[in-house]
Amino acid sequence: MRIDVVTIFPDLVAGPLGTSIMGRAVESGAVEFAVHDLREHGIGRHRSVDDEPYGGGAGMVMRPEPLFGAVEPLRAAGAHVVLMDPAGERLDDALARELAERPHLALLCGRYEGYDDRIRSVVDQEVSIGDYVLTGGELPALVVIDAVVRLVPGVIQEASHRGDSFASGLLEYPQYTRPETYRDLSVPPVLLSGHHGEVDAWRRREALRRTYERRPDLLDHVELDEADRTFLRSLGFDG
């Protein structure tokens, strides 16, 4: 998989892409990153990428010429171009998995008061990481990259993300490790039993419990069997 990022702050993006899971993904050859400085397509001696908005108003707007200049070569190379924008489709597990199927992504990061709207004519998808506004699209782009790259085959063991929160529609069950008892808090005995069937059943119940207690809205979209429903009814669920 190849991921290109277009930004006016390349250093803000490049650092995290070389560390931890991202860095190992590059070393293994599973993922290739390229960070592009939008100012390379800037206008005039100062490489300007923004200007005042038509109609007046506060702040500056990113000009179309640098944006098109950066995006069109990536489109020609086969990239699926994603515009990072608060008005875009909300990032969730399903969208991350959809993007992970793409062999080539290009993420366009905004700044200032946003983009000249004509850029939307040459992007394939608009994505938001939540209902709030940040100072730029670089951090959202990194969130998208992190959510996507970990799903690329060969980056991490598939079993590591199969039970993650949202992967099955539920929040993840509680996890424990050594020591067995710490500050009078003990690991649930079932996890020490060695009985894999009972462990699996406990994890399913605890995932259901945590989802019901913290994100009951998710249960509307989860396939529940009768055992699941019986357990949830014991908690007060009436769905």
Query: What residues are labeled active site?
Result: 86, 113, 150, 164
Q: Do residues 122 and 80 touch, judged by C-beta distance below 8 A?
A: no
5 strand-pairing partners: 35, 107
Closest CA to 41 of 6, 91, 92, 80: 6
The closest of 132, 25, 143 to 82, measured between CA atoms, is: 143
Closest to 36 measured CA to CA, from 6, 66, 16, 74? 6
Q: What angle do CA 171, 125, 84 make, to 5 degrees?
A: 75
Q: Residue with structure tokens 């990428």? A: 49
**DSSP code per residue over 46-81:** TTB-EEPPTT--SS-EE-HHHHHHHHHHHHHTT-EE
Give the list of residues 6+ apart from residue 211 with CB closer than 8 angstroms, or none: 170, 171, 218, 219, 222
